[in-house]
Copies of this chain bind each other. A is one copy, B any other.
């Protein structure tokens, strides 16, 4: 990060709180990143230890500024949800094994700064909209497809988070009413059909049959070695079962994207997350299904593109969120 610290600028810190790492960034009022720091989350050490690492990250970034923490205007935290934004609490984050953790007040007490908490997919959407591939679009959906599936909505130029901050739970919209069981307890959710976890599950099931023998041998004969990345490389090598599993998953994703186009008439759908790295086949399939199922007059206006900011979207978006909240833009 080569952007220079300039006197007189406002500064913000964004923290992306994930299940494996805490990624934090210092930005100035132009959304330019000045420094960043990464620490392991180690949720097994308990919430106090995690909170201490968040605060240590913030201190380390603040120390880059001439006035230290006094030169920071506000802090944004992107966290897995659901959240209670009014109370500034993480209500339930299975990856962190957190329930009702008062993030905002703890960090505020430690730093003396205003702290703003928002869902991780929502801040990533904000980042892609303000400084990523969605720059300049007014209506945009950001979808992250990795082990799970989430989304964030930018509508009429603003982050839309719904009545209690829960909007964007795209992984749990029903796509096949009598489809496979989802981790949430329902059937046929998008996450049970198109996430990295779902792709791996379908491939493991196939590996017990003749059709999946290619996938199984690519996994060194070990079913547990099969994940979405392996399925993708099998498909690239021409394995028809792997190809069919991916196409199937991406068609379901395409149906949901088509539904979003019909419901929200967005001008851009940004797809990020680990599974989106599979690239061409995902985007081609989603595009085809959208052109088939969405109204042509809305489908033609909806660009479907890969995310630009990768794993940085969370921390950058959290910083951006803090700045916009602080500026009263939300």
- Is A201 in the interface zone, CB < 8 Å from B? no
Are B259's CB and A165's CB within 8 A?
no
In whole Å, how far is A312's beta carbon from the nearest beta carbon of chain B? Answer: 26
Oligomer: number of copies? 2
Contacts of A162 on B, CB cut-off 8 Å?
A: 139, 264-266, 298
Are A266's CB and B301's CB within 8 A?
no
- Is A168 in the interface zone, CB < 8 Å from B? yes
Stretch at the interface among A69-77, A94-102, A152-160, A203-211: A152-160
Contacts of A138 on B, CB cut-off 8 Å?
A: 163
Contacts of A259 on B, CB cut-off 8 Å?
A: 173-174, 259
- Is A278 in the interface zone, CB < 8 Å from B? no
C-beta contact mask, A278-322 vs B, less than 8 Å → 1, else 0?
000000000000001111011001000000000000000000000
With A163-B139, A176-B177, A177-B175 given, is the CB distance from A186 to B292 under 8 Å? yes
Contacts of A172 on B, CB cut-off 8 Å?
A: 262, 294-295
- Contact with A155, one of B155, B186, B267 (Cβ below 8 angstroms): B155
Contacts of A164 on B, CB cut-off 8 Å?
A: 265, 297-298, 301
Are A174's CB and B255's CB within 8 A?
yes
With A160-B155, A265-B161 given, is the CB distance from A169 to B295 under 8 Å? yes
A-B contacts, 26 of them at CB < 8 A, read A139-B162, A139-B163, A151-B263, A155-B155, A156-B156, A156-B160, A162-B264, A162-B266, A163-B265, A163-B267, A164-B297, A165-B265, A166-B297, A166-B298, A167-B263, A167-B264, A170-B262, A170-B263, A172-B295, A173-B259, A174-B255, A175-B177, A176-B177, A177-B252, A259-B259, A263-B263
A82 to B174, CA, bound (A): 27
- Contact with A265, one of B166, B184, B262 (Cβ below 8 angstroms): B166
* Size bracket, chain A contacts: 35 or more
In whole Å, how far is A324's beta carbon from the nearest beta carbon of chain B? Answer: 14
Contacts of A260 on B, CB cut-off 8 Å?
A: 263
A193 to B176, CA, bound (A): 14
- Is A115 in the interface zone, CB < 8 Å from B? no
Contacts of A153 on B, CB cut-off 8 Å?
A: 263-264
Contacts of A160 on B, CB cut-off 8 Å?
A: 155-156, 264
- Which residues of A line the B interface, CB within 8 A? 82, 91, 138-139, 151, 153, 155-156, 158, 160-170, 172-177, 184, 186, 251-252, 255, 258-260, 262-267, 292-295, 297-298, 301
A259 to B170, CA, bound (A): 8
**Which of A167, A176, A263, A294 has most B Cβ within 10 Å?**
A263
A138 to B186, CA, bound (A): 28
With A156-B158, A174-B258, A295-B184 given, is the CB distance from A168 to B301 under 8 Å? no
Contacts of A294 on B, CB cut-off 8 Å?
A: 172
A259 to B173, CA, bound (A): 5
